[in-house]
Chain A
Amino acid sequence: MVAITGTLIVQIAVFLALIWVLRRWLWGPLLGVMDERKKRIADGLAAAERGEHHLELADKRAREALREAKEQASEIIASAQRRADEIIDAAKVDAHTEGERIIVSARSEIEQQINLAREDLRRQVVALAIQGAERVLRREVDAAANEDVLEQLATQL
């Protein structure tokens, strides 16, 4: 009823065999699987952390780029403004000189016209004077003989 029998030896053999079997097909594989899962989780966490870090970096970079772009844009606008001012100033100067030039040329033309008119007038006065003198003298004045007198008269007018 209560005794140690030959069953003991059989049981030791069964026990050892079962340990070997479970070590090989249950304990070993499951432990491997658990270690692998542990590694996977650790990797996943590390990757997530890396991703977060990357995101932060990208965010910073994006902000930097935006700031730079804004700076550049305002710079461009400023330089364009400057350039426009320059162009306007130059145009003003050009217009001024052009106007002056036009005035000068108009003046000289007017003077020329005056001179021409004066010359014309002088000639007519000379002709009138000769006619008048002819009338007075009732004879022809020898224009050739009195040319120097007429010239002198013309210049005096």
Chain B
Amino acid sequence: MAGGGGESSSEYITHHLINWCIGCNPQTHAPSGLVDFSAFNLDVIIVSGFFAVGLAVFAWFMRRSWTAGTPGRVQYALEFIIEYINEQIQVTFPKANHYVGAMAITIFIWVFLMNAMDLIPVDLISSIAGGIGALFGVETVYFRHVPTATLDVPFAMAIVVFVLMVAYQFKANGPVGYVKRMLFHPYGKYGGPANILTTLIDDLSKPVSLALRLFGNMFAGELIFALLALLTFSALQSFSASVLWWAPTHFVTGVLWSLFDLLIAALQAFIFGVLTIVYLGMAQQAAEH
């Protein structure tokens, strides 16, 4: 697909950044605006749902095989993650109930798996999807296989975290304390509307930064894979280099970026999980007046 069939470079890149969408504009294949709740990205739902169901099935089948004796490899790996998360929770958030830890491990594993989709060769899944589409007579099939490289997935998790944050703030300060925090924090009694504005920014910046950090990293990762594929092919082609040149170049650049992207995938999942715990821990500390 890369640059093939008279497809221009920008067409190739754009093709990679369009979701398989239901309820989108049929011409542009894009939602009607920045926020459009009538559109659904089927590819995102399929891939993230696949991992969610996979994890659920895995957990269900393994639920009785965890042993207090000598753990196996899988159990040991999971225990390592749980131990780490628990440690973080104990440090920042000793009163946390089990759902905080469960949320952190869900974020960590699920997000990591979705991020790791980036490592699948950039055209593979969309080519397969295109082939299946061709069987049913659909001319162009759009399929983005990294769910975390869309805004919806990171924001969905960030919104849940934000709701929990507000709930914990409310619980820690009480209704009066919560209003007081809004009105008198951080500039004191005479701060007035500046207090409200600052507190709102303070609260909202957390989920937004959480979501955008993940989205930005994964979107960039995906884009760079597409660009590398494009560059090595079309740039060398324009110098009339043969397949003997572009195939190895493509391979080397792809491997290098894959190695780096693997690090990013794990790191972003880790950061999202740990920051969730930290933010919730901050939220449950009563604000000093």
Interface residues, chain A, with chain B CB atoms under 8 Å away: 1-12, 14-31, 33-34, 36-37, 40
Contacts and interface: CB of A to CB of B under 8 A. Distances in A.
Interface in B29-63: 30-31, 33-41, 44-45, 48-49, 52, 55-56, 59-60, 62-63
A17 B37 contact: no
Interface string B54-93: 0110011011101111000001001100110010000000
Contacts of A21: 55-56, 59-60
A27 B105 contact: yes
B131 interface: no
B78 A3 contact: no
Given A17-B52, A22-B106, A26-B59, A5 B101 contact: no
A12 B45 CA distance: 11
Nearest to B78: A30
Nearest to A13: B156
B37 A5 contact: yes
A6 B23 contact: yes
Interface centre among A9, A31, A36, A40 (most CB of B within 10 A): A31
Given A22-B102, A31-B98, A12 B160 contact: yes
A30 B152 contact: no
A25 B37 contact: no
**Majority SS at the chain B contact face:** helix
Nearest to A23: B102
B103 A3 contact: no
Given A5-B40, A34-B82, A12 B156 contact: yes
Given A3-B151, A5-B39, A23-B99, A34 B30 contact: no
Contact of A25 (B59, B79, B83, B156): B59
A157 B177 CA distance: 156
Interface of B: 17-19, 21, 23, 30-31, 33-41, 44-45, 48-49, 52, 55-56, 59-60, 62-64, 66-69, 75, 78-79, 82-83, 86, 98-99, 101-103, 105-106, 109-110, 150-153, 155-157, 159-160, 219
Interface centre among B33, B36, B38, B150 (most CB of A within 10 A): B150
Contact of B55 (A22, A28, A33): A22
A24 B66 CA distance: 13
A27 B59 CA distance: 9
Contact of B30 (A1, A6, A25): A1
Contacts of B63: 25-26, 29
Contacts of B21: 5
Contact of A18 (B37, B110, B152): B110
Nearest to B44: A7
Nearest to A35: B68
Contacts of B41: 5, 7
Contacts of A29: 63-64, 66
B150 A7 contact: yes
25 contacts: A1-B18, A1-B19, A3-B34, A3-B151, A4-B155, A5-B21, A6-B39, A7-B39, A7-B40, A9-B37, A10-B45, A11-B155, A14-B52, A15-B106, A16-B160, A23-B99, A26-B78, A26-B105, A27-B101, A30-B75, A31-B82, A33-B66, A33-B67, A33-B75, A34-B83
Nearest to A7: B152
A28 B60 CA distance: 12
A63 B105 CA distance: 58
Contacts of A17: 52, 56
A3 B35 contact: yes
B45 A4 contact: no
Contacts of B18: 1
B39 A8 contact: no
Nearest to A3: B31
Contacts of A37: 68-69
A18 B156 contact: no
A16 to B, nearest CB: 7
B152 A27 contact: no
A17 B152 CA distance: 16
A4 B152 contact: yes
Given A7-B152, A23-B99, A27-B82, A18 B75 contact: no
